[in-house]
Amino acid sequence: MKKFVILSSALLSLFTANLQAQVVLQDSFTYPNGSLTNVAAGLWVQHSGTVNDSFVNGGRLEVFGIAPALRSADVSRALSSTLTAAAYASFIVNATNFSASTNYFAHFMTNSTQFRGRVFAAGPGVAANTWRLGISTAGGTGTQKIAPLDLATNVDYRVLIKFDNADLTARLWIDPVDVSDANTLAFDATVISPITAFGFRQSGPNPNLRVDDLYVGSAFADVAVGAPKSPIVYYQPPAGPTTNFVNNNVILSCVAGGAGTVTFQWQHAGTNLVDDANYTGSTSNVLSLATAQTTHSGAYRCIVTSTTNSVFFGSVTSIVSQLVITATPVPPTFVTQPVSQTAYTGQNVVFSTTVSSPGNVSYQWKSNNVNIAGETGPTLTLNNVTPAYSGSQFRVGVTNDVVPNGILSTNATLTVSDPATVSIAFLRNLVDPATFQYPPNSTVPYKIVGTVTTLTNVTSGNTSSYYLQDGTGGINIFATLGGTFRPQQGDVVTYVGVLSSFSSGLELFADTINRTYTSYSVTGTAPLPTPRKISFTVTNTLGYAYCATNLGGSLVTLTNVYFGANAGLVLSTNVNNTVAVTNANGESFNLTFFFVDLDTAGQTLPAFASSVTGVFYGNHPSYSVAVTKFSDIVTNVSVVPIPLNISSSGGTLTFNWSDPTFQLQSATNVVGPYTTISGAATGFSTNTLSGEMYFRLFHP
């Protein structure tokens, strides 16, 4: 049963006023995915720390670190005007998981880069799988005050915070409507400077926090944005019937939220409970029943109420939880058994089970019927498995506190194999020749071995992007969270990844943190592959399907390159440059230069190059030659003359020469002008010539 009432006219006026409020900072994080300081066009800056791992993903800012070395980066944005008295801010926060209290993740800032009103991910909460929020005026976790509301994961909460320069206090509200709503309060004795900016930082690897829709202002009404949240139960108590034993401690929980101040009232058989010798927490979200008796069996439910400024906003009632207290021993039973699995070398494998049992349950996992030390929970995690695990059988024994002999699950077998070692041509031939898309099975890893052909990392942030080529083809190798992977041009790399694609074309993707079966390592050095000469009309003459499967990601060379209007262009150090070039026939092709490439960024393009070498870059239908080494733009070349051999037989002249890069030309006068004989290659024959003729070889 849900009951709601309409807001009073005073509260409706409050929200109407909020729509017209003036703020000194507002940001909805509607940027492209990537590092915040890069994609926000300078609005956000990194003010401390050595690595910027504050990433925008899907229109939200991720404020969690990936590894201990990457948690120190702080990013901030200046306010449009300084706040000298009170500073207010609000933002949406969502935790996708939670394990323990962590460092602060949001704060006000002063001119001296002091952090005030620090917001912490605190907890865990009292109920299972919950977390809490805390705030301090200036100090760390030891000085924070924690809001007493259990928060659910994967739920958006509007957090409103205040820092007051007059009384040196910091306050925190969760989904507030009015300033009188329940809040936390922290004190500090330090004199504070005016607030000039707002910042976020990485709180740690857990929880995975994401924030959105930031407002900063000088009054509560400036930042109390959005419609009030209706009361809702996020985690219901167990429907049951749940069986437990006489004299055991029984706990029921109900995780809920709503606008303003949220209160709880537990009922047994429709009667409000009060704290006494049997019950504690009767008006909180967690009800505890000590030394349960059979008379405590029955129906339990929790009524959640939302109020603000002494105005009743609404209520919602949880589902009914049926509790059975028994004196009869009941053994556990399996709801789900461990399941056999297959995995790749380096992968993490999790076996799990669920049981139905009264009382306290204990577990013991076994490998080939031998107890595994320390594995006494409902799940078993095996990290970085190897083929040595193949054939191993895992099972779990389960018992409770009243049945001496428990039950044993069925065996689950683990099979582990190494990723298949394949050629790059094999991967490129997985691209659909009609749609140019790769098969959407991005969980199967492949191992390739090749030589790095690009001079530098062609991406930014904590990622790595190079091109790798073997004797059959080339491909982009992309590693997220790969900031330490920086191979040199000519390094031989063994790479294990899954297929992916980007605007740069087909790629092999690795993430050694979240996909532990992917990997990369430098195993030696080798000469660079010989570039393949291509024409300016290669996509027309050979077709897009051929380019996708045979040229993509490989070293190629264009000859006789005219830069035209781009001659004299200074390559950008802020954005990638794609420039059009032509040959003597006016045919065009594109060259790409990366701003992160310190060897090309800031260089000046010439008017002409005899050759340009780089990676055949891109995806259908946009291809270019990506140049990562400026000396691969060759503006002068020394050509050694070679002999032209002419033989005559029956009136037919046959021409032979050793270097196919030379062109055969003819003229009627020894001084010319000479013209190239179209299509002539070594072995060219003709009997159509008449009169006095002169021939020569020309290297363009």
pLDDT in tens, 525-564: 999 999 999 999 999 999 988 998 899 999 999 999 999 9
Q: What is the pLDDT of residues 297-331, one digit of tens each?
A: 999 999 999 988 778 888 999 999 999 998 888 88
Q: Could you please state the CATH topology (level 3) that the domain comprising 22-223 is classified under.
A: Jelly Rolls (2.60.120)
If one compares 113 and 486, the residue with the highest pLDDT of the two is 486
Domain locations in the chain as residue ranges: 22-223, 232-326, 333-417, 419-637, 645-698
Pairing outcome for strands 412-417 and 379-382: unpaired
Confidence band, pLDDT 50/70/90 cuts, at residue 1: very low
Q: Summarize pLDDT for 404-424 with one digit per residue, the tens.
A: 788 999 999 999 999 999 999
CATH number of 419-637: 2.40.50.140
| CB of 286 closer than 8 Å to CB of 302 | no
Residue 605: its pLDDT value, please? 96
Q: What is the predicted pLDDT for the residue at 204?
A: 63
Q: State the Cα–Cα distance between residues 306 and 263, nearest whole angstrom.
A: 7
Q: Which long-range contacts (CB under 8 A, 24 or more apart) does 38-43 make?
A: 38/460, 38/461, 40/77, 43/77
Q: Are strands 151-152 and 145-146 parallel, antiparallel or unpaired?
A: unpaired
Question: How far is Cα 644 from Cα 654, in angstroms, rounded to an integer?
Answer: 10
Whether 232-326 and 333-417 share one fold: the answer is yes
Q: Which CATH superfamily is domain 333-417 in?
A: Immunoglobulins (2.60.40.10)
Tokens of 257: 């939220």
| Mean pLDDT, residues 350-379 | 93
Question: How far is Cα 104 from Cα 390, in angstroms, rounded to an integer?
Answer: 43
Q: 66 exposed, middle or buried (CB, 10 Å; 0-12, 13-18, 19+)?
A: buried
| Pair 315, 3: CB distance under 8 Å | yes
Specify the pLDDT at position 638.
Answer: 66
Cα-flanking dihedrals φ and ψ of residue 603, to 5°?
A: -80, 160
Q: For residue 399, is pLDDT > 60?
A: yes
Mean pLDDT to the nearest integer, 231-240: 94
Residues 370-381: what's their mean pLDDT? 96
Let me know if domain 232-326 sits in CATH 3.40.190.290. Answer: no
Q: How confident is the model at residue 111 (pLDDT cuts 50, 70, 90)?
A: confident
- The confidence band for 207, taking pLDDT boundaries of 50, 70 and 90, is low
pLDDT of residue 551: 93
Q: How far is CA 578 from CA 345, 401, 571, 630, 632, in A?
A: 40, 70, 10, 15, 16
Burial of 72 (0-12, 13-18, 19+ CB in 10 A): middle
Q: What integer pLDDT is reported at residue 65 of this predicted model?
A: 63
| First-to-last C-alpha distance (Å) of the chain | 86
Residue 649 has pLDDT above 90, yes or no: no
Average model confidence (pLDDT) across the chain:
88
* Local structure of 105: helix, strand or coil: strand
Distance in angstroms (rounded) separating the CA atoms of residues 450 and 423 = 9
Is the per-residue pLDDT at 570 higher than 50?
yes
pLDDT of residue 13: 40
d(CA 667, CA 675): 7
pLDDT in tens, 53-64: 578 889 999 887
**Ramachandran category for residue 340: left, alpha or beta (phi over 0 → left; psi -120 to 50 → alpha):** beta
8 pLDDT higher than 60? no
Calpha distance 105→201 (Å, rounded): 5
